[in-house]
Amino acid sequence: MKKILLFAVALLCAVSLHAKGDLNIFSVDNAKGKITSDTIAKTLEKNGFGIDLISKMNGPFKIQFKQTDFTIFTLMTVHHTKLAADLLVKYPQAGALTPMGVGIYQKKGDNILYVSILTADAQRKILGIDSKILDAIDNDLIKALKIALPGAIMKESEDSLKTAHDLVTTYELDLDGEDWEDAKDEFEMSLEESFKPYGFVTAATQDLTFLDDKIEEVYDFYDTYSICKLKVIYTVAKSRPEASAFAPCTTMVYKKKDEDKIVVGFPSVYNWMSSARVEDKAAKKELLKAQSDFESILKELTE
């Protein structure tokens, strides 16, 4: 396999006099337990969103760590059934947040259920794009969640922490005229085989060209992998459960029809640390290890 060349997408958190939070966090009384991740998913589906993954984490937490701090802890990924395609056609890097995360959690002994999502401005910052499509998707998601969470209060999270790290890292595989289908199969097979030794789990995969014919007109293929590392999610959730809006992490792999290269990219863990203000030492250690491990996987694939 040809060497994949790394280039850092320079998406840095700029110092701003008007810094603000990157997450919208909904809170709603759920003492009777009537609101669940399933009821939320059904409402989103009725209001313009496709559900790509519903991963209920309490079971895995109990199996691996013998306990959980939550009555509900669910990682959900969704996409806008109409606008996601428009975004991807115009901005290839948008696949790093397509599907997008919806964190749902309720702590033991607490009657309040929370839902965490990225703001449109945070998505702009991470992806390095300025598009009104992001605002439209954000507005529709907020409207749908307000229906799913009657009486909920939505608040912006605390100001994000500054970071000088790249928020998305992208690699390119130059095909040099090689058949892209063979290269795709070889690369994705190697990628999937590399996850398990490092403790990564592929929670879901998706071929985004099936979302709309207009995507297939621009790309030979566009695949995404929803990647989880259980210890990371469990450890971060103890201090910053709102970071669940970033989990599972989406890895994008695509080839545009007019380019002789395959592109693979992923949002870095520095987004978690900045947007969700992850400062707990144990949580930061796990996040940085995950970043290092994922980079090691991609380096191994270039050898």
pLDDT band at 248 (very low <50, low <70, confident <90, very high): confident
> Does 9 have pLDDT greater than 80?
no
Average pLDDT, the chain: 90
pLDDT beyond 80 at 94: yes
> pLDDT: is 219 or 5 the higher one?
219
- With respect to residue 233, please indicate whether it lies within any of the assigned structural domains: yes
Domain count, the chain: 1
- Please check whether residue 297 lies inside any domain of the structure: yes
On the question of pLDDT at 6 being above 70, the answer is no
Asked, for residue 15, whether it belongs to a domain, the answer is: no
> What's the CATH number where 258 sits?
3.30.310.70
Closest C-alpha to 84, from 243, 224, 269: 224
Quote the longest CA-to-CA distance of the chain. Answer: 61
In sequence order, which ranges of 159-268 are alpha helices (DSSP H)? 180-195, 213-218, 230-239
Q: 170: pLDDT confidence band, cut at 50, 70 and 90?
A: confident
Tell me the one-letter amino acid at 233: I
What's residue 279's pLDDT?
Answer: 93
User: Whole domain around residue 100: which residue ranges?
Assistant: 4-10+20-302
Give the Cβ contact number of residue 31 at 10 Å. 9
Q: Is residue 58 part of a domain?
A: yes
Share of the chain above pLDDT 90, in %: 74
Q: What is the rounded CA–CA span in Å between residue 94 and residue 96?
A: 5
Q: Does the residue 280 lie in any domain? A: yes
Q: Give the predicted TM-score (pTM) of the model.
A: 0.91
In a domain? residue 61: yes
pLDDT tens, position by position, 265-285: 889 999 999 999 999 999 999
Q: Work out the pLDDT band at 213, boundaries 50, 70, 90.
A: very high
Write down the residue that tokens 């958190």 correspond to: 13
On the question of pLDDT at 20 being above 80, the answer is no
Question: Strands across the sheet with 201-207, in order?
Answer: 4-9, 168-174, 261-267, 249-256, 219-228, 201-207
pLDDT of residue 14: 38
